[in-house]
Amino acid sequence: MSRPREQTKLIRQDRGPRNQIVRDRPVATFTEQEVRGAGQSVSTTVVIIGGAECRFTCAMCDLWQNTIPSATPPGAVPAQIRHAVKAVSDSDLSGPAGSSARWIKLYNGSNFFDPRAVPPTDLPSIADLVSPFERVIVENHPRLTTAAIPDFRDRCSGRLELAMGLECVHPDILPRLNKQMSLADFSSACRRLHSWGIDTRAFVLFGLPWLSPR
């Protein structure tokens, strides 16, 4: 058995029960301020989507708690986004309908371009739902950088940005996180995304137990 498979088995054995999620309702919806250049910020709607669990089983991730063990049902993700955008707009927290939010984050505890997590047949509907926003931010694993991404970019009215978990650059510690990727994988994904005119951001972990704070 390979080391990643052994790590995955151990990680899953230590887990507790999942939270119950509702197919057509997001796990959470809120707004926050995102940095958009020196001294500037923009109101951003954040939608936490419930759906299939990430295939990679990273050691430091707890997002599996709001996932399901099966594939995401077709239509569930658009229904959740539709509900979230309406709820934010109706509450006047901020949103594209008569308020200030211009960006939207769609985070799903998995990978946006994993067909098991977000059915490809749902992508056109999702692009329509986020069309009022200037920027659409989704999360994805570097190894899932596929042709589906520029296709979705072409469907979106706003600028597409991918958030990816780099976590750390230490060559000995990164494998311990069970990310199942290398720094070369991350760099390759960034180069490919940038060549498609897609922005990127990296998630980085601080205070890892194997690293000295110095």
CB 19 within 8 A of CB 65: yes
Structure-token pair, residue 124: 């056109």
Would the pLDDT of 92 be above 60?
Answer: no
Pairing of strands 199-204, 103-107: unpaired
pLDDT at residue number 2: 55
pLDDT mean over 129-155: 97
Q: How far apart are CA 43 and CA 100, in angstroms?
A: 6
Average pLDDT, the chain: 90
Would the pLDDT of 206 be above 80?
Answer: yes
Residue whose tokens read 């704070």: 213
Maximum mean pLDDT: which of 32-41, 87-96, 149-158: 149-158
Share above pLDDT 90 across residues of the chain, in percent, rounded to a whole number:
64
pLDDT tens-digit readout, 162-173 = 999 999 998 888
Confidence of residue 14 (pLDDT cuts 50, 70, 90): confident
Give residue limits of the domains in the chain. 3-204
CB 129 within 8 A of CB 82: yes
Phi, psi of 129 (to 5 degrees): -65, -30
pLDDT mean over 60-77: 92
Pairing of strands 28-35, 41-48: antiparallel
Strand partners, 137: 105, 161
pLDDT mean over 151-157: 98
Confidence of residue 94 (pLDDT cuts 50, 70, 90): very low
Confidence of residue 91 (pLDDT cuts 50, 70, 90): confident
Confidence of residue 5 (pLDDT cuts 50, 70, 90): confident
Would the pLDDT of 106 be above 80?
Answer: yes
Q: Give the pTM.
A: 0.89
